[in-house]
Every structure is written in C-alpha cells, then in structure tokens.
Amino acid sequence: MPVLTGLRRGGTTLTGIGEGKSQRYAEDDMNRLWLAQYPAGIPAEVDVTAFASLKDLLADSFARFAQRPAYESMGTVMTYRELDEASRAFGAWLQKIGGLRPGDRVALMLPNLLQYPIALVGALRAGMVVVNVNPLYTPRELEHQLKDSGAVAIVVLENFAHTLDQVIGATALRAVITSQVGDRLPLFKRLLVNAAVKHVKKLVPAWQLPGSFHFNDVIVAGRDETLDEVPLKRTDLAFLQYTGGTTGVAKGAMLTHGNMVANVLQVAAWVARDMQDGAETLILPLPLYHVFALTANLSFVRKGAKIVLIANPRDLPAFIKVLKGQRFTAIIGVNTLFRALLDAKGFSEVDLSHLKLAVAGGMAVQRVVAQRWRQAAGVPLVEGYGLTESAPVAIANPLDITEWSGLIGVPVPSTDATVLDDDGRVLPMGQVGEICLRGPQVMAGYWNHPDETAKVITADGWLRTGDMGMMDERGSFRITDRKKDMIVVSGFKVFPNEIEDVVTMHPGVLEAAAIGVPDERSGESVKVIVVRKDPQLTEADLLAHCRQHLTGYKMPRVVAFRNEPLPKTNIGKILRRALRDGPPPQGQALKTTAA
C-alpha cells in the first residue's frame, strides 16, 4: 500500500489506499479555519516532493553544514562532516561485508549515544529499513519485534546484549554489531568510561553472541569499502516503527521515506519563525527509538542544529550538569520530564536566557506544569499532537502562544484534520467525535496486518486516531477522551491486551483486566484488576512474574484483587470502561512500586 504522497488544493489528487487509487477533494470540502492562526511566514503547504528520500535530505544538510557540530554526547562533539563520513562507512560495511541488500531490516537497540545517528544514517543511506528497538525490552518483547520485522542485522549496546543472547536463536539475525557506551569518545575517555560502566558500575550482564562484530571495528572496516548509491523513492520504506495500533499486539507502522521527509519538512517549517539554520542547539533527552524524538531530531538536522544527546535523563544531577554547560535554544520532552526538571535541585541555576522553544508531546501537558515552566523559563511549553502512524506530528500549537490553553493546536502545513462519528460522517464544530488526520505523513499501513490497517485508515485516506475530541470555531482541536483503551505512561503507549496476556500467564490468575488510572507524575499508570484462581496468590508473586515479561513503564502500579467475575459484553469481551468508570471492585487495592 503506497504512502499518502501529497495533498494539493483546488480539487487535484491525493494518492491514497490501494495501488494507483486516488481520491479527489474539492477546496470547499474542507473548512481550514486553522490557517488564520498560522504565525506570519508559516506556509499552508510544504513541498513534500523536495526530496525523494531521507537519504537525499540528509545529504543536503551534510553539504550545507559540514563544519557545524551535529551531535554532542558526554562532552564529545561530532560534526556534520564526521557524521557524513562515519555513516557512509557504516552503510558500506552493511552492503559489502555484512552482505545486506536494500530493503533488509536493521534493528537499532541503542540509547541516545553518538552511535545511534551513525547507525541510523548509515542504514538509511545503504537502502535498509530501520527497526527501532527499546533497549529495555524484555526477551519476550524483543523476540516478537525482531521476528515480526524480519530483522537480519542489529546494533545493540553491550548493556542489553544479554537480552538478545536469550532470543537470537529464534530470529533471522545474520549480523550482530555490539557497542559500548564510550565507543565514540576520545581514546582515554573511551577506555575510562567503558571500564567504569562494566567493572565499577557493573551495568553489563554476561552475554555470549558468537560471531558478533564491534561497532568501532565496523566503522574502520567500512572506511575501506565504497558505499553503493541506492536510488530510493518516496514510497520506499524507511522505518518499521512499532506501536500497539488498535490492539495490544505490537505492529510495525510502515513509515516510508515520503512520510518521513514530509513530516521533517512540516516540523522544520513550523519552527522556522524561531529556529534559524545553523544557529541552534537542541537538548534531546527523549530516546531516539521513540518516534517523537526521532522526527524532532531529523527536523533539527534539517536546520543544521547541534543536538545534545542525553542518554539517561532519569539521572537528574547529571542531566542538569549538561544543561548548565550548554547555551541551548530548544528542548523537547514530555510533561513528566518537564515536571521532574522543575522539581530537581539545581535546575534554578540553569541558564535559560537563550531558550526560544520548548516542545512537549507524547502525553497531555498539565496546567500546573505549563504554568510553572512559563514562569521559570520565560517561554511557553508548546504542546503538539500526533502518533506513530502519522510520523508523528500532525497537530501543534503555534509557537507564538503566550500561555497554556489545554488545546492540542491546529493541523501543521499540508495536513487536514476533522472530527468524524462512528459512521464516518463529519461532525459540526463543537461536537465530540473521533479526531481523524489526513496528509503526506500518514503511514502506508501496518506491516503484515492489512486487517488492522483497514480499521484505522478509511478508504478516502483518513487516519482514525482513536482519540475523541472536537474542533472549535477557530479551527483548534481539543482532546476530550480516548476511544481506545490504550494507556499513556509518560508519553509511552501501553496496551491493556499485552498487560492482560502477561498477567494471565501466571497460573494463579483466573482472569485480569488492565486499565489506566490518573498518576500525578506520569499522567497515567497501569492498574490491573485480578480474579484469582489460587487464593494464595499475592501482590508480590504477581509483580515478580510481570517483571520477567514487561518493560518498566508497562509494569502495574496498582493491583486490585476481585472476588466476582469481571464485567463482560454478551460476547465475553471485558468491559474495561465499566471498570474505569463504575464502582470500585471488591477487595483491597494495593499500591505498588514497579522497579
């Protein structure tokens, strides 16, 4: 299924679902009231055909900003020229020594270190498809993603290689490239950091991956090879970006080069009023395997910015030390992160006088956090909205807002949004329905899941977001509720089906339901309601079982044992909404701390 390759005004065509199929949309079909809110200089459209691929877009930045710093990590700076050279070597190794072909899947299981952009750009330049992997995945989660994507190569930090060790036999991996935290640092610092991580902090569990290659050796060997240029089209896949979609089964959103180029150009246009080419410094504490950070990162590469990578933002003293050493002009994060910074010791000493832009996404911004940030930083938190399936940015607040409004904003250039009822009819302004999106950044579909694709993309190209909301008389959108049962924990999606599958794997559980409950810090947290098969089952037993199968942010924070069966529909489906909105279940609710 091809990408939605472009939206043109005046009744011309939009390539949609199905090979060769197109739809026509007349100008008066849309009331684009939101365009009146665009700040001066922000275009209604971007030229999504300006680059055929991310490879071409990146090459343009490398040429324009060769001498500029591109990334900084742990005090070490890599210029755009150095990134160009190292990524070229990495891509050449994949082609000539790794034996990969265009279209092969390359998994990246890395935190925010200099290795990530090198591997990312190198794989894309070699014509490969990138599969981003959360380094904290459990063996079960990792195995599913590697098998489903068909990844044949992986770059993994040694800290997490033990997880890969447990599942590699069940995957199609042919090339494993391992790296250590300090690998791209100067020699003395590299040796010191790697020794401290491994032998002092003991953060590298034992692993064995026979035949694996070391990241730095790959770069050295690749420099002796020639990277074959791969012609790429906008409809070629760039990423399989995994998300839960409409169910708890992780699915790969097929994001094409056209999707990603469009969203990079859309975001770059949206921030152009404030962000100048070759003059900005972005603080990037969100993990690059998350689509919000991924696209923000690429958008600032387009602007020739220096991007300061934060590998572990939970280490607030170290994070704040980095902030104190930078004259940064932009920062992105989620509500949870901004609140943590505001509460952290030493943040009041950070120089925020150069800050021009602070963007929050991934989860709703709380009024108190937005107000405190405005007071502390002198700039507002600009809230944006999107999802993996839209690469992700689709709606955002204009950068000239002065205060928090609770709105998610207006559609970005070349994007349409509307509110539909269950039958696909457009609802009038002010009426609540499902927010739907259409534009060149909307995914080509779910990998190997045409049935799930059909549930979320309509025949005329609307992406059903699963979020309920309304559009006001100015064309701004507000989210009122969620249609799906998905839970958002600090900006990360958690799907109840997955949690319930894990909980019911325990032999002492008869049935279980997972729901989201308000959490002061993370926005929402996971609550599980359990009917026991074994009356002796304890909270500790259940949580120990969950830790074996679930990443930390998916862990239940509240457990409630219930004596009677869970409420269900007449076909036996658990009524999660009744558990959320109805009277509390019988039995004691147990608050837990999931490590």
* Alpha-carbon gap, residue 379 to 146, rounded angstroms: 41
Task: Locate all alpha helices (DSSP H) within 505-565, ordered by sequence.
Answer: 539-547
**Residue 580: Cβ-neighbour burial (10 angstroms; 0-12, 13-18, 19+):** middle
Does the structure show a pLDDT above 60 at 409? yes
Task: Give residue 11's pLDDT band: very low, low, confident or very high (50, 70, 90).
Answer: very low
Does the structure show a pLDDT above 80 at 382? yes
Does the structure show a pLDDT above 80 at 22? no
> In the chain, what are the domains?
80-232 (3.40.50.980), 487-591 (3.30.300.30)
Distance of CA 27 to the CA centre of its chain: 33
- Which has more confidence, 227 or 336? 227
Average predicted confidence (pLDDT) for the chain: 89
Q: What percent of the chain clears pLDDT 70, i.e. is strictly above it?
A: 91
pLDDT value for 586: 41
Q: Residues 342-373: pLDDT tens digits?
A: 999 999 999 999 999 999 988 778 788 899 99
Sorted by sequence, the CB contacts under 8 Å of residue 86 that are 6+ apart come out as 78, 118, 122, 219
Lowest mean pLDDT among 254-268, 317-331, 477-491, 527-541: 477-491
Residue that the structure tokens 């959108």 belong to: 477
330-333 vs 357-360, strand pairing mode: parallel
pLDDT value for 10: 28
| DSSP strands (E only) in 368-459 | 381-386, 393-396, 410-411, 416-420, 433-438
* Alpha-carbon gap, residue 437 to 469, rounded angstroms: 12
- Which has more confidence, 52 or 23? 52
Task: Give the three-class secondary structure for 465.
Answer: strand
* Alpha-carbon gap, residue 117 to 109, rounded angstroms: 12
Does the structure show a pLDDT above 80 at 21? no
Lowest mean pLDDT among 166-170, 210-214, 255-259, 465-469: 465-469
pLDDT value for 4: 29
pLDDT value for 484: 72
Lowest mean pLDDT among 82-91, 228-237, 251-260, 421-430: 421-430
Residues in a beta bridge with 560: 529, 589
- Which has more confidence, 485 or 57? 57
Task: Give residue 192's pLDDT band: very low, low, confident or very high (50, 70, 90).
Answer: very high
pLDDT value for 453: 95
pLDDT value for 5: 27
For residues 299-309, average pLDDT: 98
pLDDT value for 215: 98
Q: Residues 388-397: pLDDT tens digits?
A: 999 999 999 9
Alpha-carbon distances of 483 from 331, 387, 421, 457, 516, rounded to whole Å: 31, 14, 11, 15, 13
pLDDT value for 443: 98
Task: Give residue 244's pLDDT band: very low, low, confident or very high (50, 70, 90).
Answer: low
Q: Which among 507, 514, 462, 454 is positioned nearest to 484, based on CA atoms?
A: 514
Task: Give residue 7's pLDDT band: very low, low, confident or very high (50, 70, 90).
Answer: very low
**Residue 469: Cβ-neighbour burial (10 angstroms; 0-12, 13-18, 19+):** buried
477-482 vs 463-471, strand pairing mode: antiparallel
Task: Give residue 569's pLDDT band: very low, low, confident or very high (50, 70, 90).
Answer: low
Lowest mean pLDDT among 96-105, 243-252, 331-340: 243-252
Distance of CA 362 to the CA centre of its chain: 8
Does the structure show a pLDDT above 90 at 8? no
Query: Please, what's the largest Cα pairwise distance for the chain?
Result: 68
Does the structure show a pLDDT above 60 at 120? yes
